[in-house]
Structure formats: C-alpha cells, structure tokens
Amino acid sequence: MSADEVDEELPAFLPNSFGPDTGVNVSSPETSVLRDAEYIYNNSIDVAIDSQGTRSVAETIWTAMRKKDYSRKSWSAHELHPKAKDEVTVNFIFTMDLLNFSFWPASPSETGYMVDYQGKHWTGYWSLVAALQRALGEGIPITDSHFWQDESKATDKKLEYVFRSSSSAPIPLLPERIACLREVGRVMYNRYNCNFINCLKEANGSAAALVGLIADAFPCFRDEVRFERRLVRFYKRAQILVADLWACFDGKDFGYFKDIDDITMFADYRIPQMLQFLGCLQYSPSLRHHIRQLKQITHGHSWEIQLRGCSIWCVELIRREILRRNPDAYVNAILIDFFLYDMVKEQEAQAVELEPHHRTRSIWY
C-alpha cells in the first residue's frame, strides 16, 4: 500500500485518542530517546498501545519478576556472560554491543547462524557472545581495538573465521560488522587511546552522557532517523552497552551511572514481538499482514519507526504502572527489557507459537 492510499480498515482499528501528552522529565544531559518515542507514539497510525493490556501486563511482569527474584544480578548469571569485574570485561561488553545486531535467519525454515561452544548450540544474540568467547579461547584478541584496526593481523579472512558458523547459514551482515570494527578501531585510536575506559571517564558517571558520547564519536552507533519532519533517536546499541555495563558491574565501579533510570527499552525486533503477543501493541491490518507474510520492512520506513518508538513508550508505560501499584518497587526500563527478552526465549524453548517479528536488516538492531 502506498503512502497515498487509504486503508479502509484503519478507522475501526485506531483508538479514539492516543491519550494526553504527559511529558517526560529526564536529567541533563539527556538522550532524547524517550521524548522522541512519545512523539512517535502520538503520531503513529499503524501501531497503537492497548492501555488495558499494558496495565494488565505490568502486573503480570512485576509478579513474575518478584517470583524469579529478577534483578540486574540476573545478567551475570548466564553462563556466557563474563564474570570478572575488570577492564577486560569492559572491553568484552563494548565489543559485544558494537556487533549486537541482526541475527534472524533469512527464512524461518532455516536453522540460521549458529555457534557451537562448550558443547552447546547457540543462536541469536547468544551466538555472538559465544563467538567472542570462542575466539578469546583460541588466543584471538577480538575484544582489543588495537587488533581491529591492524588489517595485517585482523584480516577479513581472520574475522570471517572468528564469526564462522556451525550451521550452513553465515552470520548476517558480516561485511558491515567488519566495517564497524574498523571504524570504531580508528576512532578509539585517535580519540580514546584505544581504551574505552577513557570514554567512560569522559561521561563522568552519567548514562545519558555516555550514550551521547558514543553516538557522537562512533557513526555506527548513531541510530537516528527522520519521522514526520523530525529527527528521532533510538540509540539501541549505545543504550544497551550502558545497560550491560550497569548490570555486569552491579551498578558499581565501571557500572555506576547516577542517571541509569533514564535509559529506555532497547528498540529491536524481539521486544515488539513479545509486546504484541502479550496484547500491549496492536498493528494495523496492512502492517500485520506484511509481518505475517515475512516481508522485510526497509530501515527508515514509517512502519519500522512506529514499531520501535511505540515499543519504547509501551515499556515506559508498563514501568509507570508497576510503580503506581508498587511505589516501593525498584524497576526500570532496562530490567523490563531484559525480562521480556528472556520471556521470548522461554516461549520459543516451550514451542509456543508467536506472531513473527518484523524483519528489518540493518546494523542498528
């Protein structure tokens, strides 16, 4: 359907009102991600938030989080995540989130990219973590930015070996991943003396400042698009980098951020899928049909922007509802995002049939 055509089913689908403009107070500096997400939500015509479903899911999520004693400590509990609390781990997380994008297979019938490590098959995000751990175990300094920019050692062939697949499907966007490593390696050399700790120090304990520094210094982290005549920001990988540091270091040392709660949900393809499954997000008939047909959505298309922006705002509404019902609770968008991602993987492990996620192939998520 073109932008000039009218979807006759839309009037029945659209809510009577998107609700009042509540405004968002964030500390300075700010990332603008939440403010931009609210703007996207207020101007969306193909994605809507079900307020009743969101309130119900908020209680479900909070009950489940308490039952599982879910907290930032849950991050380090996974067997593949690094356990040491040192600069080596900071470099690992930086590398991990530099390359944390686009793992879905070209076809649902395909196995997709897979990494065999420590006797297990790893797919999705975990395939990347496993590949990094495997390379380090083989003596390849894949988390060292000196290595990335030294093309005599980190040849394309060597990097292809690092990210080799255990299945017939290669890792998606390998040339783009290599380009990201090269680009960031050069910036790290010129600006931060090949040490991401220097970037952390420059942020002075501010999560929002660190996100801004990363997006400014490294173009491949600059997750921005135009929507309805306005620049909107998502900064998915920059934000999840901050969140992973916070979770790994338990909010201390390299993981201390005085404004960590300003970080939003990480706008990808998995969390919208789960929010839709839980009844929080509703799609227009044309968008839902497109996703069900497994057709790709071009990066920057209005549909993609609405899916990402409304997901961020939906998680924010869930967070607010949890706090409204439980004023003494500690929960932020990071923990809700982590929890929802774990829910997706649990549903898949139990062979629960989910609606397909939207398919946009890009370096941004």
Catalytic residue list: 268
Q: Is beta strand 47-49 parallel, antiparallel or unpaired with respect to 114-117?
A: unpaired
Residue 240, C-beta contacts closer than 8 angstroms, at least 6 positions apart: 97, 100, 266
Name the phi and psi angles at 187, rounded to 5.
Answer: -65, -40
Q: How far apart are CA 26 and CA 212, in angstroms?
A: 14
Nearest to 278 by CA among 43, 49, 102: 49
Beta bridge partners of 230: 227
Nearest to 263 by CA among 25, 31, 16: 31
Report the Cα–Cα distance between both ends of the chain, in Å, rounded.
25
Q: How far apart are CA 360 and CA 290, in angstroms?
A: 12
Q: How far apart are CA 113 and CA 123, in angstroms?
A: 6
CA atoms within 13 A on the CB side of 100: 24
Residue 105, C-beta contacts closer than 8 angstroms, at least 6 positions apart: 111, 112, 113, 169
Whether 197 contacts 90, CB under 8 Å: yes
Tokens of 190: 């010129």
357 to 105, 114, 291, 293: CA distances (angstroms): 12, 19, 7, 11
CA atoms within 13 A on the CB side of 91: 20
Whether 111 contacts 169, CB under 8 Å: yes
